[in-house]
A and B are shown apart, each in its own frame.
Chain A
């Protein structure tokens, strides 16, 4: 068995050094870079990200994160299904919605399957409702949902314990980012609203933001 205590001690030491140095200020770019780390430093556990810990707590933590992601993916998949059914988008925009909707369904299936394999129970899809009034409202809401999704994955990635789950989350995270950028551009907004470093969102903020779309 690998000496995980050594690994963790080293990780903690390097993190301490990193944080100490981060607090020292310095170049503006470095400040922006470190700011992108968010508040995770304040609430950090002692387990390092890539250290493959086999504890039940680690597995349970990953299952909880996956179920959080699953809820968001359910909402996204429902959103696009309703958008497509509404007929508010035409031509290339409708095709885009179909393609993205299909992608979100694949995310739902993959995440649910992973939760099961980890011994967890996938959360059920929430009942959703979305204010789909016209083309512009639909596109704006799509952009909100996708930017939020990307920020949500970014916020959770450092907390994931299993390298496999992390790899999967990263492969979904960048796809949500692609969707967000495409929609922002369609609306004449910057595809990179946070500049050179994307900002994460906390679970609390994300759940509050999607609450209006959840019926039950």
Chain B
């Protein structure tokens, strides 16, 4: 099976936010209803996606996650210059601090596994005020959740999976708070989406300068 059902995903952040979540949630439910099938030949295409298809090992997956965490940490760092209101500024500081801890931990883990942590790309973020900051924050956090959820089943080491789980839970908590600050429901679906590497890269590409 290919992942052709993903290819119509518009490579814009807003599209991921709206389309990705609802369709993926639907796919998860469908797979659950259909029942899980054991064995390598019957794996649902949505589960492992590009991670398995591209033969990504745990270090590759960790480096992919590291890139996303670089992006989030830089995003919150830059938000400090926007003149955010007290409550939002507090959230941005706290979340930015957590993302930097994720960066440090992922990089250290990659080294300990014998890998080389990727360097941080340079980013640019389309935000000029609190409103545009919160909008982009929601997209980044929701995308982060879906990226980890998509990568999880392809992780080989139980320790790496446990650690990724402890990070994705924090990303989900961030997403919920940002959504509340925007007056949105914190959990839009009963089942959070999973995205594969191609989808995630398409989503964040507009933010990467080099």
Contacts and interface: CB of A to CB of B under 8 A. Distances in A.
B194 interface: yes
Give the dominant DSSP class at B's interface.
helix
A175 B39 contact: no
A171 B157 contact: no
A154 B54 CA distance: 26
B162 A178 contact: no
B33 interface: yes
A124 interface: no
Interface string B150-175: 00111111111111011111111111
A191 B180 CA distance: 11
B187 A178 contact: yes
B35 A117 contact: yes
B101 A171 contact: no
Interface in A11-25: 11, 14-15, 17-19, 21-22
Contact of B162 (A14, A54, A117, A157): A157
A158 B105 contact: no
Given A171-B193, A179-B186, A198-B170, A54 B32 contact: no
Q: Kindly name the residue among B39, B46, B153, B175 whose own CB sees the greatest number of chain A CB atoms within 10 A.
A: B153
Given A118-B35, A164-B36, A196-B97, A158 B194 contact: no
B153 A50 contact: yes
Interface string A99-120: 1101100110011011011100
A80 B109 CA distance: 40
Contacts of A197: 101, 105, 163, 166-167, 170
B161 A49 contact: yes
A182 B183 CA distance: 12
Q: Kindly name the residue among B35, B106, B194 whose own CB sees the greatest number of chain A CB atoms within 10 A.
A: B35
A172 interface: yes
Interface in B174-195: 174-177, 179-180, 185-187, 189-194
A170 to B, nearest CB: 5
B88 interface: no
Contacts of B36: 62, 114, 117-118, 162, 164-165, 168
Interface in A145-165: 150, 154, 157-159, 161-165
Contacts of A17: 113-114
A110 B32 contact: yes
Interface residues of A, number: 82
Contacts of A165: 36
A51 interface: yes
A200 B162 contact: yes
A177 B35 contact: no
Interface of A: 2, 10-11, 14-15, 17-19, 21-22, 26-27, 29-30, 32-34, 36-38, 40-41, 44, 48-54, 58-59, 62, 96, 99-100, 102-103, 106-107, 110-111, 113-114, 116-118, 150, 154, 157-159, 161-168, 170-175, 177-182, 185, 191-192, 194-200
18 contacts: A11-B156, A11-B157, A29-B108, A33-B106, A52-B39, A103-B187, A107-B190, A110-B33, A158-B161, A158-B162, A164-B44, A170-B148, A170-B153, A171-B192, A172-B191, A175-B172, A196-B101, A200-B166
Given A17-B113, A52-B38, A182-B180, 9 more contacts: A21-B113, A50-B154, A168-B31, A172-B192, A173-B172, A174-B145, A175-B187, A177-B176, A196-B97
Interface of B: 25, 28-29, 31-40, 43-44, 46-48, 58, 94, 97-99, 101-102, 104-106, 108-109, 112-114, 145, 148-149, 152-163, 165-177, 179-180, 185-187, 189-194
